[in-house]
Structure 1
Amino acid sequence: MLTDPDGPLTLQDADRVDSGGKLTALVLGVTGWTAIALLAGWRGHVRRRTGRDDTLVI
C-alpha cells in the first residue's frame, strides 16, 4: 500500500501492458545467449583440436 499525507492511495489496474515487447526481449535474449555459448564451445573445440588448449586462460 502506498501512503500519502492526505491518506492511503489505492492502486489501479494497468490499462496497457506491453506483453509482446517482453516476449520479443525474451526471445532475443535467449537467441543471443545461445549464439554466444555455441561460439565459445566451438572456439574451445578448435583450440583443443589444434593442441593449443594449454594456453587457454579461463
Structure 2
Amino acid sequence: MPKLLRITLSFLLLFAALASYSAGFDSGLFIFILLGFLLEAGFWFGLFPIKRTKTKQSD
C-alpha cells in the first residue's frame, strides 16, 4: 500500500474514532463508544503493522 494512502487512512480512522467517542459521550449511547474503540484499534494496528520474519526452511 502506498505510504500516502496509509497515512491518510490512519488519520481518517483516528478522526472517525474521535467523532464516535464524542457522539457516544454526548448522547450516552455505549455503541458509539464501542465503535470509537474499534476505530482507534484500527488506527493503532494500521500504524504499526505486524511484521513477519521470513524463516529459512531447510529440506
Give the TM-score, by structure 1 length: 0.47
TM-score by length of 2: 0.47
Select the structure that is richer in strand.
1
Higher relative contact order (CA 8 A, sep 6+): 2
Q: Please state which structure has a larger fraction of its residues in helix.
A: 2
